[in-house]
Amino acid sequence: MNKELYYFIKNLFDEDGYNTILKNYGVKQIFSSNPLIGVANGNDPIFEKFKEVVSADHLTPKEIWKDNNLPYLNNLDNSIRVLSIVFPYTSFIRDKYSNGSDLPPEIYSLSRHIASYFIPDVLSKLVEYIKSKGFYAVAGIKSPSFKENVSSADKLYATWSERHAAFAAGLGKFGLHAALITEAGCNVRLGSIITNAPLEITPRSDDEPYGNCLFYKNNTCRKCVVHCPINAVSEYGHNKIICFKQRNRVRDEMRARLGGIIDDSIKHLCSKDNLRAGCALCQFDVPCMDKNPTKYIK
């Protein structure tokens, strides 16, 4: 069933109106029609480990299942699957970055905002498709207990981390900038669903979390450190609290910049007051932007 769902998702990338809504801005598609998918066993011990790594209230797939009042099934522990999806930005958007800029490309900010509609739409349609096949499914971000930007002491986290779900599904490993470096790079977005559909698990190569990053691999790269204008990324890792402040600054500046160029095609989705802009400067013009760079080490 993995292949069937992959082509269902791929068709959504081609046909969903959100992915092509920025054509007036020269964007044929926000996300490439080459998504990646991976599948983790919902009973994988790694999800319990995330309660230590992310937060004690990070949800497990089984908790999300119960949270959504899905029925208890025989052999539930072994039948739940986590299907994770990588949404790679197109090169048109990735290549707009200007070296040395302290703001992301304007078209990236618009694209990131539209992604907040496109990704949930893909997940919702995927859930309905799986249900039409006689199985249960729910998106983690639709769970009643899902919360993002939860602050606790020096931590900032979500109660369902798409990055960690993708790691569990073998789709990538973390970089110095804390983004997940997938085979399509780190300049991506992620989404996931929990289901009892009979999906084949795509095993991780191992549980080592940093194997795709050149800094951790052979100490040859620090470009994400150089690109961060506020030192939220260093050789010691990524400071989410500092990064979050930068995200808010970028959001406010981009709202001011983009307010005058929001045309009629996206006004129903986007205004200068609700623009969900982010930073991600550490994910542009870096060796891991659009690939897993460790595969190219000679």
For residue 260, the model assigns a pLDDT of 79
Region 16-40: what's the mean pLDDT? 96
pLDDT surpassing 80 at residue 298: no
pLDDT tens per residue across span 124-151:
999 999 999 999 999 999 999 999 888 7
pLDDT tens per residue across span 67-121:
999 998 888 878 999 999 999 999 999 999 877 788 899 999 999 999 999 999 9
pTM of the model: 0.96
How far is it, in rounded angstroms, from Cα 145 to Cα 140? Answer: 9
For residue 149, the model assigns a pLDDT of 81
How far is it, in rounded angstroms, from Cα 78 to Cα 66? Answer: 15
> Domain spans of the chain?
2-292
pLDDT tens per residue across span 253-262:
999 988 778 8
Region 165-179: what's the mean pLDDT? 98
For residue 98, the model assigns a pLDDT of 79
For residue 152, the model assigns a pLDDT of 67
How far is it, in rounded angstroms, from Cα 69 to Cα 149? Answer: 25
Task: Give the chain's mean pLDDT.
Answer: 93
Give DSSP secondary structure letters for the chain. -HHHHHHHHHHHHHH-GGGGTTGGGT-S-SB-S--EEEEEETT-THHHHHHHHT-TTPPPHHHHHHHTTPPP-TTHHHH-EEEEEEEEBPHHHHTTPPTT-SS--HHHHHHHHHHHHHHHHHHHHHHHHHHHTT--EEEGGGSTT---SEEETTEEE-SS-HHHHHHHTTSEEE-TTS-EEETTBSSEEEEEEEE-S-PPP---S-S-TTTT-HHHHHS---HHHHH-TTS-EETTEE-HHHHHHHHHHHHHHHHHHHTTT--TTTTTT--TTT------GGGSSSTTSSS-GGGG--
Beta bridge partners of 249: none
